[in-house]
Structure 1
């Protein structure tokens, strides 16, 4: 219960930080795009393409992780380009106020990327935990369902030969020959003769 509550509160905290950082980062990128020649709908949509690229690449990486497959190179490059673009846009927005202004302006983008990756990490961990449920613990003893098979007493060569020979006597065809029994059980024909002679004497 405590672990579940911790995960929920952590996800909420990270989600809130991500939303706040996304709003501020979008505003910085929007103002930067507008001051560099774009207006109207274009200026409003361009910032979404940056953060949307980060989202899409992260989802592909998350899907590959859940499927236990290799991460596509395009997803890695797209994530890296998106991070550089969003941080660069925020830094450029604050450059008019000097190095300190650039750092302050870049912080929301860094917080957004960090929060988003933390959310992905939480999702991956939750998926991994769910995947391990129901799997046997290596430290626990194996199931006893297969124990009856393990406790079966193996037949000796003599018993095996006798069983096959008696079964062939009761079958529709001819009884198995000494050669066939010897080949089947890998023993000498003389030994087979001695074994089946006990049956012939008692029949």
Structure 2
């Protein structure tokens, strides 16, 4: 329960930071695009293509990780290009206010990328943890392998013990003793011994 609570609160914190950073980063990118000649829907949609590329690339990498496969090179390159583009756009937006202005303007983009990647890491770790637990549960639920040894029946035990006593130094075991020891009716024991004596070679 504690691990689940930690994951939930961490995910909520990361999502909150990412949402705030995304709004600010979008505003910076929109103003930059608008200031360089684009207006209307184009100016509003171009920033989405940058963050959308980061999202799509991260999802592909996450899917590959969940399938335990290497991430496609195109996804890695797309993620890197998206990060450079969104950080560069925010830096350019604040560059007119000097180095400090550029750094302040770039921070929302860095926070957005960092929060998003933290969320992906949390998702990957949660998936792996669930997979390990599922495998452990499956192994625990599997029935025990069947015993290779065949359990001896009371009748067979009586017969084997009686035959072994024939080769002993003393007298053969009595029918009463064998019946009481193996919880078998004495008449059944007598029948077993009689059949054994009849089948014995002369």
- What TM-score do the two structures reach when normalised by structure 2? 0.71
Distance 1:92 1:111 in 2: 17
Distance 2:136 2:30 in 1: 53
- 1:8-27 superposed matches below 5 A: 8-27=8-27
Deviation at 1:136, TM superposition (A): 3.5
Which residue in 2 is equivalent to 1:103? Answer: 103
Following superposition of structure 1 onto structure 2, how do residues 33-72 of structure 1 map, counting pairs within 5 Å? 33-72=33-72
Task: Tell me the alpha carbon deviations over residues 58-116 of structure 1, each in whole angstroms, 9 at most, x when there is no partner.
Answer: 00000000011111000000000000000000000000000000000000000000000
**Equivalent residues in 2 for 1:46-195, closer than 5 Å:** 46-136=46-136, 145-146=144-145, 148-149=147-148, 151=149
Distance 1:145 1:9 in 2: 40
3-state DSSP of counterpart to 1:132: helix
Q: Give the Å deviation of 1:134.
A: 3.2
Instruction: Work out which of the two has the higher radius of gyration on C-alpha atoms and give 1 or 2.
Output: 2
Q: Render the CA deviation track for 1:121-171: whole Å, top value 9, x for unaligned.
A: 11111111111123239xx99x7712512x469xxxxxxxxxxxxxxxxxx
Return 5+ residue gaps in structure 2 as ranges. Answer: 152-199
Farther off after superposition, 115-124 or 127-136: 127-136
List gaps (5 residues or longer) in structure 1.
154-200
Aligned residue-pair number: 154
What SS does structure 1 have at the residue aligned with 2:65? helix
What is the CA–CA distance in structure 2 between the aligned matches of 1:134 and 1:69, rounded to whole Å? 19
